[in-house]
Structure 1
């Protein structure tokens, strides 16, 4: 568990930090999730509760600054596996896109998974144009495109799965 605020981006975003999510973060996570089209805001509180009820099987990190939520990352241990984690969601406030927050969150997710004896992480996304920056981030961060499943999310919308071994 990240108990203290860690400086996230140094001088790029003054007073930026990264920490484990708290119940009061639900609204800010929900806003980012809806602004980025990840999921409905109402799901944020469920994610946070899951982290508290299963602390060794799920975690939610938030990035923020003194006055706002900047991003979040939610990860779960895959059931019936030995050390495989799934990064279910990573979102960055639109005003902060391409600022390095996504990369910082991804790095801290990997760091946390390694402390939990994780050995593999997968990330599932879509092949839609809007997700191209995320796919580039995963590829440049050492993830391999492991699967492409046509028409998974909807007709004409494929699932793309990225994989990384620690």
Structure 2
């Protein structure tokens, strides 16, 4: 079941991020962002979504926020599925849920960024209709390019 994130999901969602390789400082920042959201201390347009498995509880997460000073352009800052549940179509369902949520509120465009070296991730976005829009060489560190993908949600 895909739904909005609830306070009791926080620990499980941080655990998902941990299993996919987040560093300790990234986990701490993610935890702070999630806590701010759940306590109502952040921008109300941002949203967190949870993929809740009947048997295992929360196994996936997505976090999306509007791009400042744009007309309904959004950034998907995080999407992750616990490795034990990958390859089951959950990531695609979660991504489509984010897209539908944005379309319903007038979202015009969704941007996603990833590392150039993440071939599997780049293939995932291409499979769901995202196009590579930009590459910033050496963005993260020397030799680690940032790739930005784009998908138009509402063409109006």
TM class by shorter chain equals 0.7 to 0.9
Alpha-carbon RMSD across the aligned residues, in angstroms, is 1.5
Instruction: Provide Cα deviations, 1:73-128, integer angstroms capped at 9, x if missing partner.
Output: 10000111110000000001011111111000000000000111110100011012
Q: Does 1:164 align with 2:148?
A: no
CA distance in 1, matches of 2:70, 2:131: 20
Aligned mates of 2:35, 2:63 — CA distance in 1: 9
1:29 and 1:41 in contact (8 A); partners too:
no
Name the CA shift for 1:113/1:147 in 2 (closer, same or farther; >3 Å). Answer: same
* Corresponding residue for residue 94 of structure 2: 105
**Residue ranges of structure 1 left out of the alignment (5+ in a row):** 1-16
1:2-151 to structure 2, matched below 5 A, reads 17-38=1-22, 40-42=26-28, 43-50=30-37, 52=40, 53-55=42-44, 57-66=45-54, 67-128=56-117, 131-151=118-138
The count of aligned residue pairs is 147
Normalized against structure 2, the TM-score is what?
A: 0.88
- Distance in 1 (CA, whole Å) between partners of 2:131 and 2:99 is 15
Q: Distance in 1 between matches of 2:64 and 2:22?
A: 14
What 5-or-longer segments of structure 2 have no aligned partner? none
- Displacement of 1:34 in angstroms is 1.3
Paired with 1:125 and 1:89, the residues of 2 have a C-alpha distance of 10
